[in-house]
Amino acid sequence: MTPDTIDQIFVIAKHWLLSYTPAPLQPVVSAALSVAPILGVFPLLFAITTVLERKGLGRIQNRYGPNRVGPYGFSQPIADGIKSLTKEDIVPRTADQFVHFLAPLLLVMAAFLAYAVLPIGKNMVITNLNAGVLFFFAVGSMVELAVFMAGWSSRSKYSLLGAMRAVAQMISYEVPLVLASIVVIMASGSLSTVAIVNQQANYTSIWPHWFVFTPWGFVGFILFMIAATAESNRSPFDLPEGESEIIAGYYIEYSGFKFALFFLGEYLGMFATSGLAITLFLGGWSAPFSFLTWVPSYVWFFAKLLALICVFIWVRGTLPRLRMDQLMGLAWKFMLPMTLLNIVTAGVWHFMPAGFVRWLVCTALLAAPFALLSRGLTQGGKKLQLRTYRFAE
Amino acid sequence: MLGVGILKGLAETARNFLGSYVSKDRLTTIQFPEERAPRIEASRNFPFLVYDGTDPQEGLRCVSCFICEKECPPKCIFIEKSTDKKPDAVGKPQFYPARFNIDVSVCMSCQICVEVCPFDAIKMDTAFELSATDRFDALLMNKQQLAKSNEYYHEIHPTEAAAVDAELAAARAKTAAAKAPAPPAAGGAA
């Protein structure tokens, strides 16, 4: 088998299976064959991620992490799954039963829908929409609806508080998330995820044309990842959940498998936004060097995805939770101006002749405002003083 | 500059992450059922009844004075007094408990029973694996289960046990002296 066959093995297999299907059924079977692997692979990745996360966080805190179930504790997700399936499902008496039931389903569904436009390999995408990126963000904002449904229908003040926080946070960070990805749309001139990846899968000598290797691409990637962390409610932006303050936020009144569904939805959302970051900035399924193109494209996609997940875990193990005002301050006073400047820089980059000067100008255009903005956010210039308490001693 | 602190923090956690694979000293976790932490002398969990000698029931120091039962804040002690008397740890004839029950599920490990006991008969144990498969009878400890030897007491609380032993020895000597009708001179003549 040639490397090309191995690369396209899933596509070939699908067409082979379709050739045995009667013609009227073909559209349905084709869709099912495209969707089924997504429904299988990403929940499996979720299971692996939970154990990796617990072990990684453990090692960061100088302890072992789960090591009892199976070899090195890697069967832990199976035990967790059985536990959450067999637990009693408690619904509060005053809760809006229907909406309470619907919220976790909607969350998981919204998370899954986003995968429809992610190219996870060469020719491996469920639908190549013309407005793929737009579709992704549209579906992504459905998550907010599900979160608020969960918080509102529970009839608990803590749920509602968590949902309010979550919605405020997600809407605030949706703005920089979209603005950070606009630079890529400007550069590629397309909203289709497949076209964006195809543009990045070219090489100059051995180096790929990934958008992350430009000043605006790099800054856009960092800003996108920060916004993605906030979008997926992960530490240090996990205020809506805040285990130590509001216990579990909007899903405090959920138990059993519905609780597990919230976790699943949250992780799936994280994988999807990571997948979009890979698609937009890290060249999607393309290899990092031209001499590595013989490795199947889906291997590269999942390698990049796992690397980003590891970064998420690493950041979670490092940073403490932000305060609400710090969270909003970061979104509106830092992220928003930086993303807008990034768009301007991408425009400048487009109209300047290629060369060293273009690099210098664009880097300066981003570095100088960053230095100025960070002075406002950090203690820059201000002296730390003893804190005084008016009401507590 | 914004972000420098974050990078420093990330470096620190990366050092911890990699370091935990390289040096075993970093990992402070004790793998509990297989490994055990050394016993701490000052720890306490649940009371037990001390006995002297070899027979767990005959040697019990308890004289069923009911002080611990009355003082116990959650009322988890239940005592039934005997009808006859037997010599206690010091040698005086005393009542003894016919029944002595403590409910593990109710006890709050406050040590008040130990503080109030004038006979050094009840002490705190360090054993903590007291779980049972039955919610009712298995958690109600009776006299047989509660009786533990003075040697065991020495093992878990050496300093405290030595002080108690010295006190008891002095009391025993005093009782012996009071019992003996003749002055020591008579003994010398024999």
Residues of A contacting chain B (CB within 8 angstroms): 56, 59-64, 314-315, 317-319, 334, 370-371, 373-374, 377-378
Peptide bond connecting A208 to the previous residue in cis, omega within 30 degrees of 0: no
Contact list in B for residue A374 (CB cut-off 8 A) is 1-3
Q: CB-CB: which of B1, B20, B27 is closest to A374? A: B1
Q: CB-CB: which of B3, B9, B27 is closest to A63? A: B27
Q: Distances from the Cα of A143 to the Cαs of A97, A161, B113, B190, in angstroms? A: 19, 17, 58, 101
CATH of the domain at B156: 3.30.70.3270
* Interchain proximity B1–A63, CB inside 8 Å: no
Does residue B114 lie in a domain region? yes
* Interchain proximity A59–B17, CB inside 8 Å: yes
* Interchain proximity B9–A62, CB inside 8 Å: no
User: CA-to-CA distance for A266 and A144, rounded, in angstroms?
Assistant: 11
Q: A104 — phi, psi (to 5°)?
A: -65, -35
Residue B85 has pLDDT above 90, yes or no: no
Task: Please report, as a single letter, which amino acid is at residue A17.
Answer: L
**Each residue of B116-161: pLDDT tens digit?**
999 889 999 988 888 888 888 888 888 888 999 989 999 888 888 8
Answer yes or no: pTM beyond 0.90. Answer: no
Does residue B30 lie in a domain region? no
Residues spanned by the domain of B88? 46-124+133-178
- Band the pLDDT of B181: cuts 50, 70, 90: low
Q: Distances from the Cα of B71 to the Cαs of A156, B96, B115, B120, in angstroms? A: 42, 19, 10, 15
Dig out the tokens for A148 from the structure: 């608020």
- Find the helix or strand (DSSP H, E) in which A17 lies: helix A9-19
Residue A134: the pLDDT is: 92
Task: Please report, as a single letter, which amino acid is at residue A266.
Answer: E
Q: B140-141 and A207-208: which strand pairing?
A: unpaired
User: CA-to-CA distance for A377 and A67, rounded, in angstroms?
Assistant: 41
Dig out the tokens for A340 from the structure: 């807008």
Q: Half-sphere exposure (CA, 13 Å, Cβ side) for A217?
A: 22
Residue B125: beta bridge partners?
Answer: B46
Per the CB < 8 A criterion, the answer to whether A179 and A343 are in contact is yes
* Interchain proximity A62–B27, CB inside 8 Å: yes
Does residue B93 lie in a domain region? yes
Is residue A121 helix, strand or coil?
strand
Alpha-carbon torsion (A238, A240, A243, A248), positive or negative: negative
Report the 10 Å Cβ neighbour count for B153: 21
Q: CB-CB: which of A60, A373, A378 is closest to B17? A: A60
Q: CB-CB: which of A62, A315, A374 is closest to B26? A: A62
Residue B189: the pLDDT is: 43
Q: How far apart are the CA of B34 and the nearest CA of chain A, in angstroms?
A: 12
Does residue B62 lie in a domain region? yes
Report the 10 Å Cβ neighbour count for A174: 19
Contact list in B for residue A314 (CB cut-off 8 A) is 10, 13-14, 17
* Interchain proximity B10–A315, CB inside 8 Å: yes
Task: Please report, as a single letter, which amino acid is at residue A195.
Answer: A
Question: Residue A368's closest chain B neighbor by CA?
Answer: B1
Per the CB < 8 A criterion, the answer to whether A81 and A44 are in contact is no
Q: How many residue contacts between A and B have a Cβ separation below 8 Å?
A: 46
Q: B38 — phi, psi (to 5°)?
A: -60, 145
Q: Which of B6, B10, B17 to mutate to test the interface with A (most CBs of A within 10 A)?
A: B17
Mean pLDDT by 10 residues, chain A (393 residues): 80 86 86 89 91 90 86 87 87 87 90 90 86 90 88 86 86 90 90 89 85 89 92 82 72 84 89 92 86 86 92 90 83 89 90 85 86 71 70 67
Does residue B39 lie in a domain region? no
Q: Could you tell me where the DSSP H helices lie in A189-293?
A: 193-200, 215-231, 256-280
Dig out the tokens for A51 from the structure: 């154990």
Q: A354 — phi, psi (to 5°)?
A: -60, 145
Peptide bond connecting A71 to the previous residue in cis, omega within 30 degrees of 0: no
Is residue B100 helix, strand or coil?
strand
Domain boundaries along the sequence of chain A? 42-52+88-372
Does residue B88 lie in a domain region? yes
Q: Which of A60, A330, A372 to mutate to test the interface with B (most CBs of B within 10 A)?
A: A60
Residue A306: the pLDDT is: 92
Per the CB < 8 A criterion, the answer to whether A79 and A69 are in contact is yes
Residue A379: the pLDDT is: 58
**Each residue of B53-77: pLDDT tens digit?**
888 888 888 898 999 999 999 999 9
Structural domains in chain B (count): 1
Dig out the tokens for A15 from the structure: 């067409």
Residue A125: the pLDDT is: 86
Contact list in A for residue B19 (CB cut-off 8 A) is 62
Instruction: Please state whether A72 falls in left (phi above 0), alpha (psi between -120 and 50) or beta.
Output: left
Per the CB < 8 A criterion, the answer to whether A151 and A162 are in contact is yes
Contact list in B for residue A229 (CB cut-off 8 A) is none
Question: Residue A61's closest chain B neighbor by CA?
Answer: B16
* Interchain proximity B6–A334, CB inside 8 Å: no
* Interchain proximity A62–B19, CB inside 8 Å: yes
Contact list in A for residue B9 (CB cut-off 8 A) is 318-319
* Interchain proximity A63–B19, CB inside 8 Å: no
What is the predicted ipTM? 0.78
